[in-house]
């Protein structure tokens, strides 16, 4: 009888031990899975934070250019900017013909025309003078390409604005960053993507 009781007690202890080991292994595996998910979530959140809104528009720069050319077919484009107004990113395309200057604003996500304005040029800007400021739009980098190159020069900071401008005969992308109140501007050749200058405004 004592032998039977001893055998039963021994088996009970073995079963309890096996059960405890199984629970420990299950808890360990569960903790590893949770830790992996938390790590993946953090990585995903970091990726979202560092991805600029400027590279996610449905409307491309070329589409904005075409809409301007349809609205003002006889004029030359002298400037393009992409910035946030009242919480929404907009394209602003500026241009001129021999007598007037033109301005077209578009919603960067929907392409909806927000405004279309023409004004008489000053006398010293007429007859082709203002047209000489026309941008070279031949084979320009896309906005996404320009932002990507600029962001490589300003680590871990998403771009907030961009513009196509011309100076000394050179058409260039000017991509703007804002890090804790400090503005940084990266200018790059609009055709080749070569970084021309990185400027910090303290």
Distance of CA 55 to the CA centre of its chain: 4
Model confidence pLDDT, tens digit, residues 166-199? 999 999 999 999 877 789 999 999 999 999 999 9
Inside any domain, residue 132: yes
Question: Total structural domains in the chain?
Answer: 1
pTM (2 decimals)? 0.74
* Beta carbons of 176 and 185 less than 8 angstroms apart: yes
**Average pLDDT value for the chain:** 81
pLDDT tens for residues 98-139? Answer: 999 999 999 999 999 999 999 999 999 999 999 999 999 999
Could you tell me which of 112, 105, 63, 58 has the C-alpha nearest to residue 84? Answer: 105
In a domain, 125, yes or no: yes
> What is the phi-psi region of residue 78: left when phi exceeds 0, alpha when psi lies from -120 to 50, beta otherwise?
alpha
Residue 4 lies in a domain: no
Instruction: Tell whether 36 is covered by a domain.
Output: no
CATH number of residue 111's parent domain: 3.10.450.40
Q: DSSP string spanning 134-154?
A: ----TTPPPHHHHHHHHHHHS
Average pLDDT over residues 61-89: 96
In a domain, 37, yes or no: no
With respect to residue 105, please indicate whether it lies within any of the assigned structural domains.
yes
Joined tokens for residue 118: 């023409």
* Domain span including residue 138: 53-201
């Amino acid at each position: 009888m004592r032998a039977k009781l001893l055998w039963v007690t021994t088996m009970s202890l073995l079963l309890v031990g096996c059960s405890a080991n199984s629970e420990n292994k299950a808890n360990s595996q569960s903790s590893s899975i949770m830790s992996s998910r938390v790590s993946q979530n953090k990585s995903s959140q970091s990726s979202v934070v560092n991805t600029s809104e400027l590279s996610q528009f449905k409307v491309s720069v070329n589409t904005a250019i075409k809409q301007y050319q349809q609205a003002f077919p006889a004029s030359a484009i002298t400037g393009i900017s992409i910035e946030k107004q009242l919480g929404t990113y907009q394209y602003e395309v500026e241009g001129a013909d021999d007598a007037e200057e033109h301005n077209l604003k578009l919603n960067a996500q929907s392409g909806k025309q927000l405004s279309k304005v023409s004004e008489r040029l000053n006398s010293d800007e007429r007859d082709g003078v203002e047209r000489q400021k026309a941008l070279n739009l031949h084979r320009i980098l896309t906005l996404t390409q320009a932002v990507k190159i600029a962001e490589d020069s300003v680590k871990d900071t998403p771009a907030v604005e961009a513009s196509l401008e011309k100076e000394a005969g050179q058409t260039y992308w000017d991509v703007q960053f804002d890090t804790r109140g400090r503005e940084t501007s990266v200018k790059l050749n609009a055709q080749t993507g070569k970084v021309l200058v990185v400027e910090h405004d303290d």
